[in-house]
Each structure stands twice: as C-alpha cells, then as structure tokens.
Amino acid sequence: MLQCTAVTLLPPDAVLRLTAPGADCPEDPEPYVLCELGEHDDQRTEHAAYLRPGRTPDSPALWFFWTGNGTERTHRAEPAPWCPALLRRIDSRLVQRCALFDHHTAAHSWDVTDPLGDLLADRLVPGDSPEG
Ligand SMILES: [Zn+2]
Ligand SMILES: [Zn+2]
C-alpha cells in the first residue's frame, strides 16, 4: 500500500508549541507535515502526521489530524496512544512496532510504502566522502 500524499501547513500555534523553550530539538520544525497513513478515503478519514514523542517511548505521542484543504480545513493536534500491533520477523527475530497511532485506518506502518521517505533515507546514507 502506498502512503497517502496529503501535505498541509501547520497552524502557527502548533509550530510555536514545537519550538517552545525547553524543546529537545532547537531547530525550526518544518511548517509542513505529511500524512503518514496508507492511502485512505480523505472524505471520511482524517489525515494524520506525527509531531513529537511523548515523555517516554510508550507515552502517547502528539499527532496532528486534519481533513480538507485551505479554508475548508479542520484540524486538531492532540496526543494519541500508539497502535499496539507488532510485526514479528521470523527470519531476524526482530519485533517491529507499528509507528502509527491506535485505531488508525488503512495498513500498519510496515505495509505502507513511502517513496519520498525512502528517497530521503537514501540521501542520508553517507556515501564516499571527499576527505576519504
Ligand atoms: Zn492522509
Ligand atoms: Zn498499526
């Protein structure tokens, strides 16, 4: 399943909250967020983007949910508990947790293909540096 391609601009208050003093990451957050769900019906299902982690890895993380575009958009930013689904890989014995929130629609995160994310990840892999 391909990832939903919806992108939206974060409202100023959400950006402010992410840059609040004491935030772990001092860099300016991207003012745009990308829906992380698998392709879904955007009339009936909200788009969802991960904003920031909770206090512990198991705490509910902050998500941005929205429907519609431009002036038609409705949105909310609120904590959501994690999806409890686990993927057990027989070959490597690794257990992967779903990276989405509980009761999300569409596929679990491991079944969602993110061509853009793969592209970005490829770029982050260090290649041959000029310094050797
Ligand atoms: Zn979406
Ligand atoms: Zn899931």
User: What ligand has the least distance to the C-alpha of 98?
Assistant: 2
Q: Which pLDDT band, with edges at 50, 70 and 90, does 60 fall under?
A: very high
Both structure tokens of 26? 């001092």
User: What ligand has the least distance to the C-alpha of 110?
Assistant: 2
User: What ligand has the least distance to the C-alpha of 5?
Assistant: 1
Predicted local confidence at residue 102, as pLDDT: 96
Average pLDDT over residues 104-122: 79
The closest of 115, 121, 43, 36 to 82, measured between CA atoms, is 36
CA 22 – CA 77 distance, rounded (Å):
19
Predicted local confidence at residue 61, as pLDDT: 95
